[in-house]
Amino acid sequence: MGVHDYLAGRCLTQAEVQEVWKSTDARGQKLETWLASLPSKPALTGPPWVCGRCGNQDPHQFWTFQGLDGQPRTYCLDCLSLGRVMSGQRLYCQPAPVGQPLSQSPLTWQGELTPSQAEIAQKLVAAWRGQERRPQLVWAVTGAGKTELVFPLLERVLMDGGRVCLASPRIDVCLELAPRVKEAFAGLDCQVLYGGSQDSYELKPLTLATTHQLLRAYQAFDCLIVDEVDAFPYVDSRALHEAVRRA
């Protein structure tokens, strides 16, 4: 993969971007020159401190220490599990490019929706095709077929050249959804991202991911669906809501 495949649709720390530099053709350039050519923003702004990755503004969720140069350094505790976001450094955020429309439907699922499912599916497709594209909520009991009724929406978005992410706060939900979605869109390039997953990030039409992985996403998806929005830790996490909004 080229360097832009690693960076497109991502918001990465300086340390993460340096690893990209080491492993791609960008290593032919001086690191400082290459970093200066990338779109970036301060990792933290303030004080009062605001994290550029997760949006944390809670003064109790930052830690300050003395750097090797004797100057104070502050980092965010809210998203520390994904790597340190620290004052004096930058975040490298690059939107994904516009995708290419498909010439034929990627949907290979042969099932049929019930009349009620079909009605909701049509409303979701209409919401996508509308000018405002306002957020939608599908509320139904477990086993009601929520996954299958979003297939027409996924088909339409992918046909239009959009990128889709199916996200969940829980790894087990992502692992349960993955084979069903891959079977429904057989032949389509799909990745599953979670802590410890075998897949490494690439810019693909269809992504399944935990909501924590979205903290590294930046304007990557045209359509994002969160399964089980009432589940821990997403339901009470301002950082994960911000990650979804930005992704």
Q: Delimit the domains of the chain by residue range.
A: 3-94, 115-246
Quote the Cα angle for 164-13-25, to 5°: 80
**Beta-carbon count within 10 A of 242 CB:** 19
Which of 231, 229, 209, 228 minimizes the C-alpha distance to 220?
Answer: 209
Beta carbons within 8 Å of 84's beta carbon, 6+ residues apart: 13, 15, 75, 76
Q: How far apart, in Å, do the first and last CA atoms of the chain sit? A: 22
Asked if 87 and 74 count as a contact pair (C-beta separation under 8 A), the reply is: yes
Which helix H or strand E contains 207, and what residues bound it?
A: strand 206-210
CA 16 – CA 19 distance, rounded (Å): 5
Coil, strand or helix at 76: strand
Q: What would the pLDDT profile of 97-109 be if each residue is shown by its tens digit?
A: 999 999 999 999 9
CA 232 – CA 170 distance, rounded (Å): 8
Q: What would the pLDDT profile of 142-187 be if each residue is shown by its tens digit?
A: 888 999 999 999 999 999 999 999 999 999 999 999 999 999 999 8
pLDDT beyond 80 at 5: no
Q: Please provide the average confidence, as pLDDT, over all residues in the chain.
A: 93
Kindly indicate whether the domain formed by 115-246 is annotated with CATH number 3.30.70.141.
Answer: no
Q: What would the pLDDT profile of 77-96 be if each residue is shown by its tens digit?
A: 999 988 999 999 999 999 99
Quote the Cα angle for 100-105-108, to 5°: 135
Two tokens at 90? Answer: 């930058």
pTM: 0.90
